[in-house]
A and B are shown apart, each in its own frame.
Chain A
Amino acid sequence: MSASIGWFRDGLRELGYIEGENILIEERYADAELDRLSSLAAELLRLKVEVVVTAGTPGVRAWTKVTKTIPIVFVGAGDPVASGIVASLARPGGNVTGISQFGPELGGKRLEILKEAFPKVTRVAYLWTPDLLGSASGLRGSEIAAPALGVKLQSLPVRTSNDIDGAFAAALKERAQALTAQTAPILNTYKKRVIEFAAKHRLPAIYNQAEWAEAGGLMSYGPNPRDQLQRVAIFVDKILKGAKAADLPVEQPVKFEMVVNLKTAKQIGLTIPANVLRWADEVIK
């Protein structure tokens, strides 16, 4: 997430905030250890923060446990309504608002892109984290889209770091032909391992964050993160100027990017067809 905060800072700067002069940013990272989130939140609370920015639903949860008044702006929550962190997208209602991520539907879209690039794929391994609220609906979204695409999903739930290897083994056992994964803190921590696994077994993979593709994943399709974090900065600005989180509707991303890592493709020995590559928004060579 380190790049993200850079974009966030850029966004703030564009709005006239200069760190040290009129704004202070306190960063804390849980590094996929969800338990730590609560204590980090409490710590920041003691520092008397005025606005909170957090990525992902778990972060929001940790915060809403410790405060019902300090405004919380989230980014990257897949389905905020389903996960219960907001009452509705138009009127969040509480002290939480932010930018969602179109979790459920995008899953299907990703599968579609995967299938387009690799038409022969029929079995796709799907890594997800059941403990994360909203992630189940994400899986469901992909499961609904799969049959029409002629694809069968293999659900691989991951709860702890121990589960990763097991998941990999299960995928191999079922002879998965491709890989996809949800965004989740725990999976983020093991990004490298997942990517390496896919590479090792020459599995085409599509992820939902450009970061993964940049890190070596084959493809990604998801909202433009820079765009999102600049929108977060605008939220923060509005709140600092007096707007209530309850009145600020949750925004949904409008720009989606497809990123293709040709270097990885070459390494793995996979070929991305031209008619898919043509539409890539970013190609890593």
Chain B
Amino acid sequence: MQTLRSLIENPKAAPRTKIQNGAGRGHLLRYYFLISGLLVAGGLLTSALVEVYYRLHESRETLAQLQKEAAATAAVKIEKFIQDVETAMRSAAKGLDVDRQSAADSKFELKRLLFLAPAISEAVLIAADGREQLRLSRLAVAATRSEKTLADSPAFQHAKNGQSYFGQVYLVRGSEPYITMAVPIEEFKGTIAGVLQSEVNLKYVWDVVSAIKAGKAGYAYAVSRSGDLIAHPEIGLVLQGRNVAELEQVRAAFRPLTGDPRRSLTTARNLRAQAVISSFALIPRLDWAVFIERPASEAYEALYASLVRTSALLLIGLGMAILASYFVARRVMGPLRILEQGSERIASGDLKFRVDLKTGDEMETLAEKFNRMASALQESYANLEEKVAERTRELANANRMLDEASRHKSAFLASMSHELRTPLNAIIGFSEVLLDPSLTVSDDERSQFMTDVWASGKHLLSLINEVLDLAKVESGTMELQFEPAFLQDVFESVQHTMRALAGKKSIDLRVENDESLEQISMDGARVKQVLLNLVGNAIKFTPDGGRVWVKAQRETGRVRVEVGDSGPGIAAAEQERIFQEFQQVESSAKGKPEGTGLGLALAKKFVEMHGGEIWVESEVGRGSRFFFTLPMS
């Protein structure tokens, strides 16, 4: 107990037990708390990380997709703008007849073109040979039939082949972005009669681009292949002829397509060196690229917000998990400690101690069972004590009985030796007298002496027989001879034997026979012996002139024999004692009575060996009735 206690209180001193199926002593709380905490935390963390990873991935994909679409849409808008100008030009071209038209009509067509397409600030009608026929401008005076030839210009050459031309960006007065556009003038399909060229002010494209929004701070811009800005929300950049070919995303846009087209979502730096998410779409006809850029922080805002949310939830979840594990562990640990202490106290001997645990769960049940165990322990302990006390008493009893028996035996021996010696002394004495030649004995005396010797011898014999019988019975070697016999025969024999004795004291001996009694299986000799003893006693103890009777009565399954007398009766206190060996009724009137005191004891034994009972009913002054039963079957 001491060792245990010290081990518990001083875990470091204890040899460490391996943590296989339990904790080291006293670490259960920490262990379970850690385990459950780690498990839950691990679970939460894993799920959060997986969630975050996939969400990041998805978000990037979604963002890429959205921006790509936005860029495509922007490209469409810008292309449409240019196409509208082209359409206006083609429409004007239809109305132009280079050779046959009057100047006024041509002028009208061009004026109409300028009206339809505000972006065009100048329109030029060129003849098939490249000479300028008519030039109309919003700003400058119209010119007609200048000898200027534009035959070498790329615009003319391209349009001469029947295709629309879109030129490179150039700056007017160093600050106005323009492109040259040209469309063929066809007499009819396939025959080029001239070229219509116009200078298109790209500030109008700026209007389109400025209107394009992406998210909160996203924007669109257009760039030519050479990297010159065509349109940008900050028009200043365009007017300054800013070239943005240095930007990675611009270079990447014009690179021939390689690899994964999905990689169009790139994080790049913009002109202000901010981190942006950049997507582009190409306008192949113009050889332009349109970019949609959003500040990376804004694009990822929603994602970061959700990340922050997830992290916060994770932390809260972790916190709660840790708290929960702790409280759960404690809830188990507390009762366990109480039970531990309870066990200790009971082990130390305080069996009355009971554990008080009201947790409303299995722990409470366990505590109840623990208490019941303690109670059972207490009870059995008490029982044990009782049993011990009982056994001790029984032992004491037995000892006493043994002592008594031993005392009886001593008394018996004492009495026996006396009883035996007395007739032997008489025999020896009388024999000595008869054998002494010096003594003169008369014939009468001789006859008397011989009779005494014979009587003594007979007495001694019966004594010894009885003792031997008793010894046999007690050692269990007495064997009864069971034979069917009639009880009345035994009665008759007894009556015959006792008549004389009864006559001597003028006692009326009545023996009633019952003729109807059938044979009973019995040892006749012993039953006779019993009757002889009972009747002998009755005659002995009844005063002269009294009565003694013997009756037999049938009862269910047995016969009851009664031997009664009108003697002095036997006190209640003596009634049990007389059946014991060497016990005789105290009879102050007669002094020491005759007999060995063995007769009734033997009778009892014999009756009981037959399977019957023997008892006495008597009152002092009212005579005695001895009963014994014999089973019929």
B239 touches A (CB below 8 Å): yes
B residues contacting A by CB (< 8 A) are 108, 111, 115, 118, 121, 137-143, 171, 173-176, 201, 203-204, 235-236, 239-241
Contact: A88 with B138, CB < 8 Å? no
A residues in contact with B138, CB < 8 Å:
109, 256
A residues contacting B by CB (< 8 A) are 88-91, 102, 105-106, 108-109, 111-112, 145, 148-149, 243, 247-252, 254-256, 275, 279
A58 to B241, CA, bound (A): 29
B residues in contact with A149, CB < 8 Å:
141
A residues in contact with B115, CB < 8 Å:
279
* Interface hub of B111, B137, B140, B201 (most chain A Cβ within 10 A): B140
Shortest beta-carbon distance, A61 to chain B, in Å?
22
Q: Given A106, A248, A254, A275, which contacts B201 in the complex, CB threshold below 8 Å?
A: A254
Shortest beta-carbon distance, B557 to chain A, in Å?
129
Q: Given A89, A243, A255, A256, which contacts B175 in the complex, CB threshold below 8 Å?
A: A89
B residues in contact with A102, CB < 8 Å:
139
**Top 10 closest pairs, chain A to chain B, by CB:** A249-B239, A89-B175, A90-B175, A108-B141, A105-B139, A145-B141, A112-B141, A90-B240, A90-B174, A249-B175
Nearest opposing residue in chain A for B115, CB measure:
A279
A111 to B118, CA, bound (A): 21
Nearest opposing residue in chain A for B138, CB measure:
A256
Please name 20 pairs of A and B residues whose Cβ atoms are closer than 8 Å in the assembled complex, sorted by A. Answer: A88-B174, A88-B175, A89-B175, A90-B171, A90-B174, A90-B240, A90-B241, A109-B141, A145-B140, A148-B141, A149-B141, A243-B236, A247-B236, A249-B235, A249-B239, A252-B173, A254-B121, A254-B201, A255-B118, A256-B139
B residues in contact with A247, CB < 8 Å:
236
A residues in contact with B201, CB < 8 Å:
254
Nearest opposing residue in chain B for A256, CB measure:
B138
Nearest opposing residue in chain A for B121, CB measure:
A254
Shortest beta-carbon distance, B288 to chain A, in Å?
20
Shortest beta-carbon distance, A254 to chain B, in Å?
5
The B contact surface, by secondary structure, is mixed
Nearest opposing residue in chain B for A145, CB measure:
B141
A78 to B239, CA, bound (A): 18
Shortest beta-carbon distance, A152 to chain B, in Å?
15
Nearest opposing residue in chain B for A276, CB measure:
B111
Shortest beta-carbon distance, B273 to chain A, in Å?
16
Contact: A109 with B235, CB < 8 Å? no
Contact: A251 with B141, CB < 8 Å? no
Shortest beta-carbon distance, A104 to chain B, in Å?
10
* Interface hub of B142, B143, B204 (most chain A Cβ within 10 A): B142
A250 to B173, CA, bound (A): 11
Contact: B139 with A251, CB < 8 Å? no
Nearest opposing residue in chain A for B104, CB measure:
A275
Contact: B240 with A108, CB < 8 Å? no
A248 to B174, CA, bound (A): 13
Nearest opposing residue in chain B for A112, CB measure:
B141
Contact: B239 with A90, CB < 8 Å? yes
A27 to B84, CA, bound (A): 43
A residues in contact with B111, CB < 8 Å:
279
Contact: A250 with B204, CB < 8 Å? no
Shortest beta-carbon distance, A71 to chain B, in Å?
14
Nearest opposing residue in chain A for B240, CB measure:
A90
Shortest beta-carbon distance, A84 to chain B, in Å?
16
A156 to B138, CA, bound (A): 26
A residues in contact with B235, CB < 8 Å:
249, 251
Shortest beta-carbon distance, A180 to chain B, in Å?
14
A residues in contact with B108, CB < 8 Å:
275
Nearest opposing residue in chain B for A142, CB measure:
B141
B residues in contact with A105, CB < 8 Å:
139-140
B residues in contact with A109, CB < 8 Å:
137-141
A residues in contact with B236, CB < 8 Å:
243, 247-249
A227 to B3, CA, bound (A): 101
Contact: B141 with A252, CB < 8 Å? no
Contact: B175 with A252, CB < 8 Å? yes
Nearest opposing residue in chain A for B112, CB measure:
A279
